[in-house]
Chain A
Amino acid sequence: MKNFSGNVLFLDRSDINTDEIIPAKYLTEISKQALKPYLLEDIKLEGFNSQLDVKGKHVIITRVNFGCGSSREHAPWALEANNIHLVIAENFARIFRQNMFNCGMMAVELPDQTIDGIFKEFAGKETHLETDFENNAFIITADGHQQEISFSISDFDRALVMTGGWVDYADEKY
């Protein structure tokens, strides 16, 4: 199972599309690691610098409809190449969400008030998130302040995370 804990990258915008996560011109790469330097290169977000701001972050927290646009799995791979295995948002585009779990990663939805609360309390601060997968909880910490938030994922998604993804799951089962 992958690691789902680490420092948090806050992306305070909705509708961040897959072209912003990884621009189409890098789709000619045939290895996942090659995508590493280009994550979020073209994102439209005030004050954001993909060269500086991604480093050392292993969890993304964002708003609505993250990962909309093209079906490219290069988007989760670009995250994976940067050791970001968990994205938390109000909701996701369908294909992106499925791609995350298919790769044994997590795309977790939280209610809008919860996301809003997290942004108010933690955005702009050096924030750490610890995932307690067994107990369906995130523990978020910054400046000595700590908050526990419970989440839910379906049994099917849980099984994918535990087997490491859909290829092994399906090949075994069907």
Chain B
Amino acid sequence: MGKTIAEKIFDAHRVDHPEKDIHVIRLDAVFCHEITTPIAVNDLVSRGKDRVFDSDKIKVVIDHVSPAKDSKTAMQGKILREWAKRHKIRDFFDIGRNGVCHALFPEKGFVRPGYTVIMGDSHTCTHGAFGAFAAGVGTTDLEVGILKGVCAFRSPSTIKIDIIGRLPDGVFSKDVILFIIHRLGVNGATNKILEFTGPVVDAMSMESRMTLCNMAVEAGATSGICNPDMTTVEYLWEFIQNDHADKESALATFKSFHSDSDAQYDQVIEHDVSRREPMVTFGYKPDQVKPVKEMASTKVDQVYIGSCTNGRIEDLRVAAQVLKGKKISDSVRGIVSPATPKAFRQAMEEGILKTFMDSGFCVTNPTCGACLGMSNGVLAEGEVCASTTNRNFNGRMGRGGMVHLVSPATAAATAIAGFISNSGLYKGSP
């Protein structure tokens, strides 16, 4: 019987099998940020276990609230900084070099096909785009990851989402994943892995695949995953070129992880995107999703473009294309936060930041900030925000605020209109 990519990765990393459904696996990387790691560090210290399993495999960033907004967030940064120094963790990214973890670490080449990765952050599933098994965990799992380089998981049962057809102009991976979450429900994939396959995924950039995998957790999934291909190799080439004779041989190596054609899936869902249109969420759950045109009169107070879902250069380019030569509505506060310094710099060099500023947007430094309602754009009671982030939970961007999740194109068009609106890039019925 064949195996899925996730099963093959588990097989290559298993160190213990304490019972039928539990696998303890060896980790290739443990990622850390300043919200969930300081508490883990403090706990390890208080247990007399202030050790790390391998300082080269631990990657650390201060990203959620950067620069620090008050004494408490400053203290979180301080604990992390001192810990990284104490354990000689070289890959530590502080302000000026920092960016949103799930955008920054792939850019640095820290995720490779076949890797196992954990982080104390639910959107760690993003890294599955590279053909890795990457999962968000709680602080205790993170502690054990830091201490021992292992983590326990249930058997990786997989739902295959086969994405077929042709993506219409103006419809993006964000719209596709919103629709898939709508179809699965917020716990439709609990304890499962979502494997995204099919010609539409094959044609997607790494950035778009990251957007798909990023939101897998919103359907309850442990992780999203894509089979690595030449697009993956091209993205990673600068980091892996010394390990492989050429791109073809790198691809051949990575292909050994591919799901077998006779692999067993929990479910196979075929999803034709040819008639898909831009989507938007309407409630407090990410599976409450409608076509944009059905929400078209909803007024917004703020538009936010950024985050680990849609703050990458590709996203900024699309938004700028919509904004070019236009002004955003007087009644809208537009905020854009490029997710990494690299995306920021590229956006600057390509004139994208100028386009944003000319249209009336505020450009902030790379940080999570408004996405989790901690800084840089928190909503007031009763305010509405169209956002390219991944969570519309009650209070997520500020107590009493309403969040509508959209693609960068829809966000930009909404900023111009002042109410939820389809972009001109979408040629279907407006």
Residues of chain A touching chain B, judged by Cβ–Cβ distance below 8 Å, are: 15, 17, 19-20, 23-25, 27-32, 42, 44, 64-65, 68-73, 76, 91, 93-96, 98-99, 102-103, 154-156, 159, 165-168, 170-171, 173-174
Q: Are B138 and A174 in contact (CB under 8 A)?
A: no
Q: Are B187 and A42 in contact (CB under 8 A)?
A: no
- Kindly list chain B residues whose C-beta atoms are within 8 Å of the C-beta of A103: 140
> Can you report 18 residue pairs joining A to B where beta carbons are below 8 Å apart?
A23-B399, A28-B73, A68-B187, A69-B122, A71-B120, A71-B137, A73-B39, A73-B140, A95-B137, A95-B138, A98-B141, A99-B138, A154-B21, A156-B19, A166-B152, A167-B144, A170-B150, A174-B15
Q: B49 contacts which of A28, A76, A94, A171 (Cβ < 8 Å)?
A: A171
Q: Are A19 and B35 in contact (CB under 8 A)?
A: no
Q: A156 contacts which of B22, B35, B121 (Cβ < 8 Å)?
A: B22
Q: Are A64 and B394 in contact (CB under 8 A)?
A: no
The closest CB in chain B to the CB of A75 belongs to B138
Asked if B202 CB lies within 8 Å of chain A CBs, one says no
Number of interface residues of B (CB under 8 A): 57
Q: Beyond A15-B285, A44-B284, A71-B122, list 5 extra A-B contacts (CB 8 Å).
A: A28-B70, A94-B220, A95-B122, A95-B136, A99-B139
Q: How far is the CB of B49 from chain A (nearest CB, A)?
A: 6
Q: Are B393 and A17 in contact (CB under 8 A)?
A: yes
Q: Are A94 and B141 in contact (CB under 8 A)?
A: no
Q: A19 contacts which of B21, B39, B220, B396 (Cβ < 8 Å)?
A: B396
Asked if B391 CB lies within 8 Å of chain A CBs, one says yes
Asked if B36 CB lies within 8 Å of chain A CBs, one says yes
Q: How far is the CB of B406 from chain A (nearest CB, A)?
A: 20
Q: How far is the CB of B83 from chain A (nearest CB, A)?
A: 12
Residues of chain B touching chain A, judged by Cβ–Cβ distance below 8 Å, are: 15-16, 18-19, 21-22, 24, 35-36, 38-39, 42-44, 47, 49, 65, 70, 72-73, 75-76, 79, 120-122, 124, 136-141, 143-144, 147-148, 150, 152, 154, 186-187, 190-191, 220, 222, 284-285, 372-374, 391, 393-396, 399
The closest CB in chain A to the CB of B53 belongs to A174
Q: A42 contacts which of B15, B16, B190, B395 (Cβ < 8 Å)?
A: B395
Expressed in whole angstroms, the Cα–Cα distance for A28 and B373 within the complex equals: 12
The closest CB in chain B to the CB of A103 belongs to B140
Expressed in whole angstroms, the Cα–Cα distance for A68 and B15 within the complex equals: 29
- Kindly list chain A residues whose C-beta atoms are within 8 Å of the C-beta of B144: 166-167, 170-171
